[in-house]
Amino acid sequence: MEELIKRYEYEIIANDFDIAGSTSSSIKRNLKSIGVDPSIVRKVAIVSYEAEINIIIHSKGGKMCLEIYKDKLTIRAHDNGPGISNIDLAMSEGFSTATNEAREFGFGAGMGLPNMKKYSDNFNITSSSEGTNIDIDIYMD
Amino acid sequence: MKVSEIKDLLSAEIHSGDHLMSKEIIGAYASDLMSDVLASIYLDDKAVLVSGLNNTQLIRTAEMLDLSVIVMVRGKKPHPEVIEMARENGMALLTTNLNMYNSCGLLYSKGVKGFSNGRID
């Protein structure tokens, strides 16, 4: 088990478009301030932003964590449901169940989960009616 | 192409980021869908983002990608909170009455090519 250097936890509120992205913005600033390589910061920012937006537009709310280890960064996104009925379908590029409101904010391209997977070194997703859990590792080098 | 030249080329108005007028731009990406923009990680701070989206998620998306120059097309008047967030992030926010197709066409005709999968096409 790798030693955890630091852990940040953030509450994400469903349907709150006004502050959507503020958590990812904080995560990005935190990583920049400790001198993480900009290209790594960008990858983390993208997966974090996609995860944050997903919780806001699709769930009843949830939490996100940033864990900093010596060799990797881990983003954990957990929401309180209703869950994804078909993960394989949700993982396919272009598939979206975004609402009209979410679309007005520029979402609904159906690229959220595919982007998260694309930019992560390890990507794990589980989902039930209780909620969806996503764990993403991005290595430092 | 410099940001000031983009401003002239697109008859654009500038709402923030006067300090970036002499910044050199080598490529562009255009979309109204933010996850499509986010799929292009190799966009960097030498790219201009062209979009018709008029809300703070446009700025957030640019922030995540380290983009600093945005052109809002189709005559959109940026909401005050959009301008404010662009300012806070030190970004240049321009608006033009041209639509996306013509904006991109003009930029392309002056040598600003599209970014795709980390390359300039």
User: Is B104 part of any domain?
Assistant: yes
**Please, which residues bridge with residue A69 across strands?**
A4
Q: What domain range is B10 assigned to?
A: 3-112
How would you classify the pairing of strands B119-120 and B113-116? antiparallel
Output the domain CATH number for residue B68.
Answer: 3.40.1390.20
CA–CA min distance A110, chain B (Å): 8
Q: What is the pLDDT along chain A (141 residues), one digit of tens a residue?
A: 679 999 999 999 999 988 999 999 999 999 999 999 999 999 999 999 999 999 999 999 999 999 999 999 999 999 998 999 999 999 999 999 998 888 988 898 898 999 999 999 999 999 999 999 999 999 998
The reply to whether B121 falls in a domain is: no
Is B86 within a domain?
Answer: yes
Considering only CB atoms, which residues of chain B are within 8 Å of chain A? 32-36, 38-39, 41, 51, 53, 55-58, 60-61, 63-66
pLDDT at residue B117 in the model:
62
Mean pLDDT of B97-110: 97
Chain A residues within 8 A (CB-CB) of chain B? 17-18, 20-21, 24-25, 28, 38, 42-43, 45-46, 49-50, 104-112, 114-115, 118-119
The band of B41, judged by pLDDT with boundaries at 50, 70 and 90, is low
CB A20 to CB B57 under 8 A? yes
Q: Kindly state whether residue B58 falls inside one of the protein's structural domains.
A: yes
Domains of chain A plus CATH, in order, are 4-139 (3.30.565.10)
Residue B117 lies in a domain: no
Cα B67 to chain centroid distance, Å, stands at 8
Is B69 part of a structural domain of the chain?
yes
ipTM (interface pTM): 0.89
> DSSP assignment of A45-98, as one string?
HHHHHHHHHHHHHHSS-EEEEEEEESSEEEEEEEE-S---S-HHHHTSTT----
Helix (H) or strand (E) holding B29: strand B27-30
On whether the CB atoms of residues B110 and B36 are closer than 8 A, the answer is no
Return phi, psi of residue B120, to 5°.
Answer: -95, 120
Q: What is the mean pLDDT of residues B116-120?
A: 64
Instruction: State pLDDT tens for residues B64-103.
Output: 999 999 999 999 999 999 999 999 999 999 999 999 999 9
Q: Which residues of B touch A104 (CB under 8 A)?
A: 55
Q: Report how many domains make up chain B.
A: 1
Judged by phi (left if over 0) then psi (alpha if -120 to 50, else beta), residue B91 lies in beta
**B79 - beta bridge partners?**
none
Cis peptide before B80 (omega within 30 of 0): no
